[in-house]
Structure 1
Amino acid sequence: MTVNKMVPFVTFRTRVRDESIERPNPYRWEDKTSDDYFSGKRVVLFSLPGAFSPTCSTYQLPDFEKLYDEFEREGINAIYCISVNDAFVMNAWGKALGSQKVKLIPDGSGEFTRKMGMLVAKENLGFGMRSWRYAAVIDNGVVEQWFEEDGFSDNCETDPYGISSPQNVLEALKSFQTAAAARPGRVNISQIP
């Protein structure tokens, strides 16, 4: 994926809490689309190889959660974490980590990840097909900034992490905002008498 490209349109199968369901597990299926997540807002999306995995659970998701308010101050409306895991796993992981602000997107079939060009084999870890680690700033469905870890490959022996870290994304976002503010205003030629 590169900057200035639209994110792919897919439908995600999510599970949402519904108190009207009278059973011990009050959740129902709800389809969400790329438009639901990305249209009309500026968001950070980050992807990782798997819920409950060490780097993802110790650093990546918790640090995005901790820095959420700073991202908001930089004009970000939402932060999404996506992984090639089903809705049950993503919900359980979010609950286990106490995630309140970062929203988790289940890409159970890997369709979104594949269309983003980020699907890799992880058979060497017993995972099957998963996402390469990356992050993006997305404005109204268009990739504005892209942060992909080095070494993109199937069955990579390492799990690179740093380029897509929340600290790096936030720093780049601040630099982007500063550079945008420093640019002189543009004049619309049609408005000149």
Structure 2
Amino acid sequence: MSIQVGDTIPSVTLKHLTANGMQDVTTDELFKGQKVVLFSVPGAFTPTCSAKHLPGFVQSAEALKAKGVDRVVCVAVNDPFVMRAWGDKGNVGDAVFLLPDGNATFTSALGLTMDGSAHGLGTRGQRFALVAEDGKVTHVAVEAPGKFEVSSAEAILAAL
């Protein structure tokens, strides 16, 4: 079952590539005491993810903060090296925290994986966005397959 409004964000430790090398990052650290928008893309460097989804949140970061959002996080079932390269290519800077979920541990705990094997992608995350306050989910929007409507930055801004 996928995560629902009122649920607590699962506690998971992932790897994140920083200027100081590979570091552990926990979802507890990312969500505790903060209002967080989390969005998921099926993969870094994929067409909709790179052309629309990530750039929309980068461009809307200040508007989200104006609505009380402390942090914007993008999760993808990609390794830390790919996520860092994608962030560099997209000039993400500090607008969005790119969270690699290389083993789909977090995405599985959320109940939001998808099988992309038909496209050579293996297990990936569904396209979705959620809002959590102090680790409690207050809004969830999961896209229908092949769609990009309810998880966009604009849709999340409207939901806040």
Q: TM-score band (shorter)?
A: over 0.9
Aligned residue among 28, 53, 56 for 1:63: 56
Report which of the two structures shows the higher radius of gyration computed on alpha carbons: 1
Q: Which residue of 1 aligns with 2:92?
A: 99
Q: Which runs of 4+ in 1 moved over 6 A?
A: none
Q: Which amino acid aligns with 1:55?
A: T
- Root-mean-square deviation (CA, aligned residues, Å) is 0.7
Aligned residue among 108, 117, 124 for 2:118: 124
**2-structure distance, mates of 1:148, 1:121:** 15
* Unaligned stretches of 5+ residues in structure 2: none
Q: Which residue of 2 aligns with 1:169?
A: 156
1:146 aligns with 2:127: no
What aligned pairs does 1:1-193 form with structure 2 within 5 A after superposition?
1-18=3-20, 28-100=21-93, 101-151=95-145, 159-173=146-160
What is the CA distance between 1:150 and its match in structure 2?
A: 2.0
- Greater strand fraction, Structure 1 or Structure 2: 2
Partner deviation per Cα, 1:124-172 (whole Å, 9 max, x = no partner): 1100000000000110111011111124xxxxxxx21111011011011
Q: Secondary structure, in 3 states, of the residue corresponding to 2:8?
A: coil
* Unaligned stretches of 5+ residues in structure 1: 19-27, 152-158, 174-193
Percent identity, please.
37
Q: Secondary structure, in 3 states, of the residue corresponding to 1:67?
A: helix
**2-structure distance, mates of 1:71, 1:162:** 17
Q: Secondary structure, in 3 states, of the residue corresponding to 2:141?
A: strand
**1-structure distance, mates of 2:42, 2:54:** 12
Q: Which amino acid aligns with 2:5?
A: V
TM-score between the two structures when normalised by the length of structure 1: 0.80
Q: Which amino acid aligns with 2:77?
A: V
What is the CA distance between 1:15 and its match in structure 2?
A: 1.1
Choose between structure 1 and 2 for higher RCO, CA contacts under 8 A separated by at least 6 residues: 2
Q: Secondary structure, in 3 states, of the residue corresponding to 2:51?
A: helix
Partner deviation per Cα, 1:57-92 (whole Å, 9 max, x = no partner): 000100100011110010000100000001000000
TM-score between the two structures when normalised by the length of structure 2: 0.96
